[in-house]
Structure 1
Amino acid sequence: MNLPAVLAIYRFEMARFWRTALQSIVAPVIATSLYFVVFGAAIGSRVQTVDGIAYGAFIVPGLIMLSLLTQSVSNAAFGIYFPRFAGTIYELLSAPISPFEVVLGYVGAAATKSIFIGLVILATAAMFVPLHIEHPVWMVAFLLLTALTFSLFGFVIGLWADGFEKLQLVPLLVVTPLTFLGGSFYSIEMLPPFWHGVSLLNPVVYLVSGFRWAFFGKGDVSVGISVGVTFLFLALCLGLVTWIFRTGYRLKS
């Protein structure tokens, strides 16, 4: 493995992250605080507990997952799209570095950024509500697996997009709505039977449920199914990335 090349890509992407620290770190903290003010105060005063969990604590995994998904997709998509936009992608393709090492550098940096932001949000949430994580190892595992999976998904979007409009299309119109409708701020068990069944078609439900189980030992679906769905989506993203590099789709034109 060409480790120096992987580290060069990783360090370049992380340097860009720290240059925009105000936008990358402070903004999610402010947004998290606003969610607690709005959801915790307005809804929490009416819905005291969900499945025996205080509502303020119940929404913490959903808040972290919301930021984790959107940040993973956006960071990875922009990271690979900008070299294509600037034309420097050809220098990368002609360098003595394999597609796997390119993906490792960009996706590794995007996943690191989103995990860092997720931990910052967790620390911010702990200032508002008391938190006790029942399965810390599983919490870290879900955090890593979700960040890696959606960073790969964002990498695919960055290769597919041929303009800044498309670059923001999927995160804004697909990922964020699916996260809000995926049980981030409520339990899908509270829904009528029809909408409960519809919600099970939303893949984000399984991510949020598994992550919430790691916190409280309770989830809307089995933790085994949550892990299985996540690995399935990870395999799909790996297959898409492999196909793109094999065919040169959006890379050589």
Structure 2
Amino acid sequence: MNFYSIKAIYKFEMARTWRTLMQSIASPVISTSLYFVVFGSAIGSRMVEIDGVSYGAFIIPGLIMLTLMTQSISNASFGIYMPTFSGTIYEVLSAPVSYVEIVIGYVGAAATKSSILGILILITARFFVDYEVQHPFMMISFLFLTAITFSLFGFIIGVWADTFEKLQIIPLMIITPLTFLGGSFYSIDMLPPFWQTVTLFNPVVYLISGFRYSFFGTADVHVGVSIGMTALFLTICIALVGWIFKTGYKLKS
């Protein structure tokens, strides 16, 4: 394993974050804080508890997941798209660096950025609502597992996309709607039986439900199912990344 090459790619990607702190870190944290102000304080103060949890605290896991997934995809997809767009990806591919090391460098940096954001939002939430984390180890595990999984997914999108517009299609048109409809702001038990069944086909439900369980000990879906679905999605992403490098899809053309 060439750790020097991994470190070089990782440091290069992280340096881009430090150069654009307002866009990479401050903007997502401020945007999420507005959700806490509007939904947590203003609307939440007029709503009853959900599963024994105040509404302001109830939405914390969903908001963190929303930011975590979108930022993981955005960071990873942009990170691999720019070298492909500029043609510098061929320098990386021709270097004595394995595909595994390339993926670890790019995906590791993207997952680190989104994990930092998730932790910052968790800290920021304390200024708006009171909450407690019943299962800290599980919460951290879900946080990092989701960041890695969706960074891999973003890496796939970055290779697939051939325009800047395509980079935004899946995060904006698919991931964000699925997150809002996946129980970020409500429990799926509040839905009619038919729509509860339909919602279970939304993969984001399992991520939010498992993450919420780590906070409050309650979930819409059994935590074991949530872990299994997350692991399944991670496996699919790893398989797709492996196929991309094996076939040279859009990398060698």
Normalising by the smaller structure, the TM-score range is over 0.9
Matches within 5 A, 1:113-192: 113-192=113-192
Tell me which residue corresponds to 1:23: 23
TM-score (norm 1): 0.98
Q: AA paired with 1:187?
A: S
Matches of 1:175 and 1:20, distance apart in 2:
24
Structure 2 spans left out of the alignment, 5+ residues: none
Matches of 2:17 and 2:45, distance apart in 1:
37
Q: AA paired with 1:94?
A: S
Q: Percent identity?
A: 68
Tell me which residue corresponds to 1:99: 99
What is the DSSP-based 3-state SS (H/G/I as helix, E as strand, rest coil) of the residue aligned with 2:110? helix
Q: AA paired with 1:203?
A: P
Matches within 5 A, 1:231-246: 231-246=231-246
Tell me which residue corresponds to 1:207: 207
Measured against aligned partners, the alpha-carbon deviations of 1:127-174 in whole angstroms (never above 9, x if no partner) come to 111121000000000001000000000000000001101011111111
CA shift, 1:39, in A, is: 1.0
CA shift, 1:45, in A, is: 3.1
Contact 1:6 1:101 in 2 (8 A): yes
Contact 1:32 1:124 in 2 (8 A): no
Matches of 2:121 and 2:85, distance apart in 1:
32
Matches of 2:246 and 2:214, distance apart in 1:
38
Structure 1 spans left out of the alignment, 5+ residues: none
CA shift, 1:42, in A, is: 4.0
Q: AA paired with 2:142?
A: F
Q: AA paired with 1:36?
A: F
Dislocated runs of 4+, deviation >2 Å: none
| Root-mean-square deviation (Å) | 0.8
What is the DSSP-based 3-state SS (H/G/I as helix, E as strand, rest coil) of the residue aligned with 1:31? helix
CA shift, 1:103, in A, is: 0.2
Matches of 1:166 and 1:31, distance apart in 2:
23
Tell me which residue corresponds to 1:225: 225
Q: AA paired with 1:114?
A: S
Q: AA paired with 2:3?
A: L
Q: AA paired with 2:95?
A: A
Contact 2:40 2:129 in 1 (8 A): no
